[in-house]
Amino acid sequence: MSPGEYLAVLSAKYQIDPDNLFSALVLAKEKQKSTCGKVSVETRGSSGGRTIFLLMNDTKVVAQFSIPEEFLLEKRNPIRDYAKADMTRRYHDLESRRTRSFHIIDLRSGMKKIELKAKVLEIAKPVLVFTRFGTYASVANAVIGDETGTIKLCLWNEQIESISVGDTVWIKNANMSSFKGEKQLRIGKKGTVSIQDSHLRA
C-alpha cells in the first residue's frame, strides 16, 4: 500500500480532513510536533530518506509509520488524491454495514443492520400465508416500544412463539421497510430476536 493510500484510510477512519492531515504532517516534520483535531502528530526521527511519524489520540496510539521525505514536498496533497481509492471506499462500506444500535424514533425506511432494545406491547393473532418460495408460513405483527415511540415488528414462524407481551427484547440485524404506507421492522433470515427480561408469567 502506498503512503497516500494508507493515510487516506487513516483520514477516513478517524474522520480527519485530508488537507488538515497533510498540513499537520508537514508542520510536524518542521516543528517535531503538531495537532490535527483530536489527533496529535509527532516525528520520531528519520532514516534512509524517510521520516517516522507517530499519531496519538490523547494517550492512545493511532498509528506509527514512515513516509518518504519527497512525499511531503508534493505541491498537491497526495492524500486527497487517494481519498476515493478502493480501500477507502471499502472502509466506508464496512462501516455502513456494521450493525448499529438505534431508538425507535431514529428508524427510517430502507435502514439495514439495525440493533434495537424494546418492550413487546402487543402480538396479533398469527395468520397463515403462502410465500413466494411456494411454502406456507405463519406471520404475526407485534407492536414494540421504547422511550421514544412504538413500531410494528413482523414475526415469522418460530419467532412468534419465542416472545410474549411484556418481554423486553433485543433485536439484531433487522431492516426497516414499508408495507401499505406503514413502517415496519423486519428481522429477516439473518436477524435475531431474544428476550432480555421476561415479565412474570402466572
**pTM, whole model, 2 decimals?**
0.49
Q: Give the cell for residue 141.
A: 405483527
Residues of the chain with CATH 2.40.50.140: 100-197
CA distance linking residue 4 with residue 25, whole number of Å: 12
CATH superfamily of 100-197: Nucleic acid-binding proteins (2.40.50.140)
Closest CA to 62 of 48, 41, 81, 80: 41
E strands, 5-159, are 33-36, 39-47, 50-57, 60-68, 100-102, 114-123, 127-130, 136-146, 149-156
Q: Residue-wise pLDDT tens for the chain (202 aa)? A: 678 888 888 888 788 888 899 999 999 999 999 998 888 999 988 888 899 999 998 888 888 989 898 888 887 887 877 765 555 555 555 555 555 678 898 888 888 888 999 999 999 999 998 888 888 889 999 999 999 999 999 998 888 888 999 999 999 989 888 877 788 999 877 788 888 754 444 3
Grid coordinates given for 166: 411484556
Residue 52 vs residues 9, 24, 29, 61, 69: alpha-carbon distances, Å:
18, 14, 9, 14, 10
Instruction: Give the span between the Cα atoms of 13 and 30, in whole angstroms.
Output: 26
